[in-house]
Structure 1
Amino acid sequence: MYTIVDIETTGNGIKGNKITEIAIFKFDGQKVVDEFTSLVNPECEIPYFITGLTGIDNHMVRNAPTLVEIAPQILEITQDTIFVAHSVNFDYNVIKEEFRTVGISFVRKKLCTVRLSRRLIPGYSSYSLGKLCSSLNIPITDRHRARGDAYATVHLFRKLLETENSETVFTSFLNARSQEATLPPSLQREVYESLPSKPGVYYFKNSKGEIIYVGKAKNIKKRVLSHFYDKSTKEVQMCRETSNIDFELSGNELLALLMESAAIKHHYPLFNRAQKRNVVPYGVFSYEDRQGIMHLAFNKLSQVPRSLITFYNTTDCRLFIEQMC
């Protein structure tokens, strides 16, 4: 028995993200046997951009039940079922985290229709729910609303169940050792399995092949896996955009650190923050005033006609001038 779930929330991360709507269809493999749908009062303000995307605003949820109030229905309908969603780690972990904050344990086996689709029906340019449903002629209404998206996922899931070799794939995905439920939705398991347990740098890439993150590690495979378990907003967003991972071996951790720093400065990845700050160069220069006295000063290099020496922060400029004086 499966429960196919979709939620709308106040943001993109896991921790601190609040549910504004939830839809659950209980599916026996052939037909829907039960349903639960409800708006949810997140007990916080809904950002304007979220309202623009989903149409759910503060007024709509003001008198809606809180998650604690509907928790018994959610627990009952999902009991002894496999939790299914499109990009399942997001929906599952948001619900699990919300329940954890109110002292409720939520543990279910899970399946991701993105990963299943990539395995069973390969070759599509995009596996987003909207584009995949369009390619497969699956009707989808009320886009970016929980019930509309969940019901479209029911149709997609039925097609996946009817696909050749589906039983073998489903069994392998449900194997706890497969790590299929842990990996990002767009990342093939073979890519992760090919990573070495040696020192080096690794590159997370999006669907366009662009490097979005550079990291270094003593054990590349172990470090990459830790990203997938991290529930911070940045890590969740990064993993959802990751479609491929490349690596370079370094031989030791020190060399990996140097390689990482050089790669970040060269590629300027979206999700690297510590080392990708835009460094502003400053130049020390001399000028003669109206009394013929020579002065030393510093300014941004772009505004210095003839720099005597270049630094990358104002403190070094000042110390150099003081030393010269």
Structure 2
Amino acid sequence: MANLHYCHLQPRFSVSELINRWKESMANFAIIDCEYVQFSISDRRIIEIGIVLMNDQSGHLELIDQYQTLINPGRPCPKDVLKLTGITQLELDSAPRFDLVAEMIELLTREQTLVGHNIKEDFKALQSEFDVLGLDFRRKSTCTFDLAKTSLPELPSYELKNLCHWFNIKLDNHHRALDDAMATAELFCKLYEPHIRKREEHPQVTAMRCHPKLNPKLFSQWKRQPAVIDCFKNGQLMAMDWVRNLHDEGPKLLVQLHRQEGHSFDKIVIHDCTDPIDALLRFRFRLKKLKPLHNVKEEAKLWVVERLGWGFRLNKWNQAKGTILFQTKNRKDAQEKLHALLENLDRPKLYYRDPEDTEWKKEQQQAHREFIQSVTKKVADYPENHFAVRFGNNSPSYLFYQGKLCGKRYIKQKDFPQLRQLPEDYRKIYETPQIRHQLIHLLLQEKNRHQKEIEFIRLKENCP
């Protein structure tokens, strides 16, 4: 088993030697991971790539080679990305550009099936880089995220870090391309089809997590339909819940109940339902009548006011994720505590409030509208009653009717001069004082010819 690292500045093999080498190795899987920067919606730049080549040897995957390199994106990288990956800007500046490593990446992945965790995002980043070079990059792909979700529906999360913890896979430098690719390769070995057929022998299947006496074949017999699940222990009803899809959601629900309360259920009763509404109504009726121990304890949970990095939040005790500042059994007391905290802030609109507190929310919205009206300057009216205007090539056209902004629509530059009336499929917009102030300010610039990118056209007086 070879572990080779390549250097693009001083390549160890020629192109012909690489082609012959990959044919001899017969590698049919390329596990890939890309660290990239999203400068805009359509502009992704890879800053690091890691590739692990593997082949199938009689149903077992074997490591053939591995490859890693940094890539210079051609512009400064955001500080949050550098902090996340641990890469420095100096390392990126001294790294090769993508056009210098594109041939190597194409050779390594030629006639291979790309494998990655959330491979769609990495594949989009690769296609974006190859598009800049005028090359069409196409490969077959397999996603370990989808494989894990299909073969292990009981897991609460399918992120790479959580799956590595589940399978005891070593992942030291998360968000570094080669380390993530190696961890994904080990994960792929666990989820490869020959191993999926032997799931019943896996020591961490859902039945073993709930109770050792439960048969793992039970879950394969569940139908894809709504149902109500009753969980018993020693003849006592411990928990009850309903699911929309018993086959997909049932195993995951059992593990969640086991983790929350620590119960090991020795008996499970399934009540099939015709539709989700039937399942919900049946669950609520039986919940009030039978009062399972787990559900009764959950209703008695406390209300808490917690502080997170971005503000304050009112939440249930079992759902709290931040630092708990206040706890009570009465929801109103928690609301009053939250209001007292927010009133002492200079900018309370940046912080989360309780969404169910509608009256207080309306008061805050009214105060915000009054604040906007007080700071909005009074400016002149629009130059025309019926007109359309374009602020640059990549922005939509704003449509005005009867002296007010009525909507917007993307109109091509060549079609804009022929526009004489409102399009039928425009998107309606309700004008606010702040929007009116900004638009008239831009129109005054157009009137004074300070901004030449603005296109202005009058519409007919009898617009519909």
Higher relative contact order (CA 8 A, sep 6+): 1
Counterpart-to-counterpart distance in 2, 1:93 and 1:84? 14
1:84-163 aligned at under 5 Å gives the runs: 84-161=115-192, 162-163=194-195
Does the alignment pair 1:314 with 2:433? yes
Conserved in 2, the CA contact under 8 Å of 1:6 and 1:22? yes
Counterpart-to-counterpart distance in 1, 2:41 and 2:139? 17
Counterpart-to-counterpart distance in 2, 1:313 and 1:151? 54
Counterpart-to-counterpart distance in 2, 1:12 and 1:89? 18
Counterpart-to-counterpart distance in 1, 2:434 and 2:53? 64
Conserved in 2, the CA contact under 8 Å of 1:282 and 1:312? no
Shift of 1:13: 6.5
CA gap 1:133/1:282 in 2 versus in 1, 3 angstroms: same
**Matched residue, 2:97:** 66
- How big is each residue's C-alpha offset from its partner over 1:3-34, in whole Å with a ceiling of 9 and x where there is no partner? 00001112386621111110011111311112
1:95-244 aligned at under 5 Å gives the runs: 95-161=126-192, 162-165=194-197
CA gap 1:141/1:40 in 2 versus in 1, 3 angstroms: same
Query: Equivalent of 1:2, from 29, 44, 55?
Result: 29
Counterpart-to-counterpart distance in 1, 2:136 and 2:431? 51
Does the alignment pair 1:281 with 2:369? yes
Counterpart-to-counterpart distance in 1, 2:432 and 2:190? 59
Counterpart-to-counterpart distance in 2, 1:120 and 1:12? 35
Query: Equivalent of 1:80, from 111, 120, 123?
Result: 111
Conserved in 2, the CA contact under 8 Å of 1:40 and 1:61? yes
* SS of residue matched to 1:80: coil
Shift of 1:135: 1.2
CA gap 1:12/1:138 in 2 versus in 1, 3 angstroms: farther
Counterpart-to-counterpart distance in 2, 1:13 and 1:312? 28
CA gap 1:282/1:22 in 2 versus in 1, 3 angstroms: same
Counterpart-to-counterpart distance in 2, 1:121 and 1:316? 50
CA gap 1:316/1:26 in 2 versus in 1, 3 angstroms: closer
Counterpart-to-counterpart distance in 2, 1:316 and 1:136? 54
Query: Equivalent of 1:55, from 83, 86, 89?
Result: 86
CA gap 1:72/1:58 in 2 versus in 1, 3 angstroms: same
Q: Which runs of 5+ in 2 are unaligned?
A: 1-27, 199-223, 225-354, 356-364, 376-429, 438-464
CA gap 1:317/1:148 in 2 versus in 1, 3 angstroms: closer
Conserved in 1, the CA contact under 8 Å of 2:39 and 2:45? no
Counterpart-to-counterpart distance in 2, 1:24 and 1:317? 53
**Matched residue, 2:73:** 42
From the CA coordinates, give the structure whose radius of gyration is larger: 2
CA gap 1:315/1:49 in 2 versus in 1, 3 angstroms: closer
Aligned residue identity for 2:369? P
Q: Which runs of 5+ in 1 are unaligned?
A: 167-189, 191-267, 269-277, 284-297, 301-310, 319-325
- How big is each residue's C-alpha offset from its partner over 1:125-156, in whole Å with a ceiling of 9 and x where there is no partner? 11100011011111112111000000000000
Conserved in 2, the CA contact under 8 Å of 1:14 and 1:90? no
**Matched residue, 1:173:** none
Between 6-15 and 67-76, the greater mean CA deviation after superposition: 6-15
Shift of 1:312: 7.7
CA gap 1:127/1:317 in 2 versus in 1, 3 angstroms: closer
* SS of residue matched to 2:44: coil
How many residue pairs were aligned?
A: 186
Shift of 1:164: 2.7
Provide the aligned C-alpha RMSD in A: 3.1
**Matched residue, 2:51:** 24
Aligned residue identity for 1:109? K
Conserved in 2, the CA contact under 8 Å of 1:10 and 1:20? yes
Counterpart-to-counterpart distance in 2, 1:317 and 1:6? 47
Counterpart-to-counterpart distance in 1, 2:120 and 2:40? 11
CA gap 1:96/1:316 in 2 versus in 1, 3 angstroms: closer
CA gap 1:125/1:13 in 2 versus in 1, 3 angstroms: farther
Shift of 1:57: 2.0
* SS of residue matched to 1:17: strand
